[in-house]
Amino acid sequence: MSRITLSRFLIEQQRKAGTLPPELRLLIETVGRACKAISFSVNKGALAGILGEAGTGNIQGEAQKKLDVIANDFLLDANEWGGSLAAMASEEMELPYHIPGEYPKGEYLLMFDPLDGSSNIDVNISVGTIFSILRCPAGIDHPTPEAFLQPGTEQVAAGYTVYGPQTMLVLTFGSGVHGFTLDREHGSFVLTHSDMVVPESTQEFAINMSNMRHWEAPVKRYVDEMLAGKTGPLGKDYNMRWVASMVAEVHRIITRGGIFMYPKDARDPDKAGKLRIMYEGNPMAFIIEQAGGAATNGYQRIMEIQPKGLHERVAVFLGSKEEVERITAYHQQS
């Protein structure tokens, strides 16, 4: 049997009535091509002189790596001319990027974190790209930030690419989650993981334990119970993992289960969390939910939150449903 490439998979989904509109198919393919280009740059690393700091900062006040800038440019350049988009927004830019006047405009909005986990680049640990696609509200020709401020339930597609030992693109457009591995010899993503499912229960968790002293009481309670192991209230031993790359953490969870947590903490009580709802929280919640998992901010489903800003932050608890429901219940009880 012949291998199913990303292009073939999307065309077959388009042929199923109402499953995937042609413009959305083309947009996903274009994002995939940009991710291939990013993968090749990540893979070259020091050979291409692209490691280290860029000497600039992003809108978040974070120092940018050279590859942050390169990845952002790849996604902008690849997607500005195809005719599917009304505008784009990036974690690296303060305001939306408008489609140049010489190119046709489409009905979709693209948001992305061009290189998640970029602090790992120089030490050769997995990083990734996260993207989310919305419909542009009707009657808007020049989208402002407000056009993007839609709850995650309005997403029409989301995905991530993990640049690890293999480069994988994981994708949903509301009918399950599918994984594609980059075949470098042929230059195409090939379907290798159909209908990916997050196990309901787990014995693995991911959290930055160095922040423990800053956590709220429900998070401390939950982690203490996991660390208590078989003799504790949860009655089983847990393993901890922490890669400091959300893409890598989520990919592990969607492959073998687990829970990823990035809670708010006492260092900046006015911030709801560290991760951005538009570029990280919503797309990853969409993917995890489509794979049978759950994603909340501790109190409510992430995808039901109404965003108030393009770079708004959110607390994140996502992964195996049983564990996410437990930590959410602890927050609600408190």
Residues 85/27, Cβ–Cβ less than 8 Å? yes
Q: Where are the domains of the chain?
A: 6-193, 204-333
DSSP state of 82: S
pTM score = 0.95
Q: Which residues contact 216 (CB under 8 A, 6 or more apart)?
A: 263, 264, 265, 266, 331, 334
What length does the chain have?
Answer: 334
CATH code, residues 204-333: 3.40.190.80
Amino acid at 318: L
Strand partners, 179: 170, 193
* Bind-site residues for Mg(2+): 91, 113, 115-116, 280
* Bind-site residues: 91, 113, 115-119, 208, 274, 280
* Bind-site residues for substrate: 116-119, 208, 274
CATH code, residues 6-193: 3.30.540.10
pLDDT tens per residue, range 154-182: 999 999 999 999 999 999 999 999 999 99
pLDDT tens per residue, range 113-156: 999 988 888 889 999 999 999 999 998 989 999 999 999 999 99
Q: Give how far the C-alpha of residue 257 lies from the chain's centroid of Cα atoms, to the nearest Å.
A: 17
